[in-house]
Amino acid sequence: AQKVTQAQTEISVVEKEDVTLDCVYETRDTTYYLFWYKQPPSGELVFLIRRNSFDEQNEISGRYSWNFQKSTSSFNFTITASQVVDSAVYFCALSENYGQNFVFGPGTRLSVLP
Amino acid sequence: GAVVSQHPSRVICKSGTSVKIECRSLDFQATTMFWYRQFPKQSLMLMATSNEGSKATYEQGVEKDKFLINHASLTLSTLTVTSAHPEDSSFYICSALIQRQVYNEQFFGPGTRLTVL
């Protein structure tokens, strides 16, 4: 069965600090997709990134970067120079069956203090 | 990206009443939609898979007679919480699936916050 673990329940940082959110997954499929979503207090999920299992290249988008390592089944997310607006719950998710079966991790609540 | 809407965004009802939540795919057709539930400070959990023109598939532990799902058209799925009780208070999120050649992509709605008094 597929599973996603986010060991950090809550993280607090001071503005401008870098922060890394960890995600470890389990799957028996060779083809799968990994995601990160942001959920601000409004509740609406904000899509951040999707990665397929064949693409281990790290990605950078502005202050956000992702490190995908199949050897350790991890897909970690780093926010550089954090801002108060980054405060939210962040979910890592795994999708098997070409997007059909979707499992969310428990989430990490990030608080960025001014 | 594709757009999925939900209505209402927020609903408060009395215990024992039924509440209907709509999920619409605005600019695409979706033969498959999903309903998730999120309790406070918890993750999203899949409740059921809604297939157009057929019965929904429910996850283990989800009462199909309590959470009625209807997917009568390619752009609309509804979730009806029947005889709602305070423990049904939750954030309900739907998603719609676009089937592409290589990958089936899910687009999530903005969610509906249900409070049962």
pLDDT digits (tens, 9 = 90+) for A79-110: 999 999 999 999 999 998 777 788 999 999 99
pLDDT at B1: 65
The full length of chain A comes to 114
Q: Average per-residue pLDDT in chain B? A: 93
Residues of chain B with Cβ-Cβ distance to A48 below 8 Å are none
Residues of chain A with Cβ-Cβ distance to B46 below 8 Å are 102-103
Instruction: Classify B40 in phi/psi space as left (phi over 0), alpha (psi -120 to 50) or beta.
Output: beta
| pLDDT above 90 coverage of chain B, percent | 77
pLDDT at A112: 98
pLDDT digits (tens, 9 = 90+) for B69-100: 999 899 999 999 999 999 999 999 999 988 77
pLDDT at B57: 93
Query: How would you classify the pairing of strands B10-13 and B112-116?
Result: parallel
For residues B48 and B34, the answer to whether their CB atoms sit within 8 Å is yes
Tell which of A38, A96, A98 to mutate to test the B interface (max B CBs under 10 Å): A98
Residue B101: band (very low, low, confident or very high) from pLDDT cuts 50, 70, 90: confident
B68 has a pLDDT exceeding 80? yes
Tell which of B11, B35, B44, B114 to mutate to test the A interface (max A CBs under 10 Å): B44
A2 has a pLDDT exceeding 90? no
Inter-chain residue contact A100 with B104, CB threshold 8 Å: yes
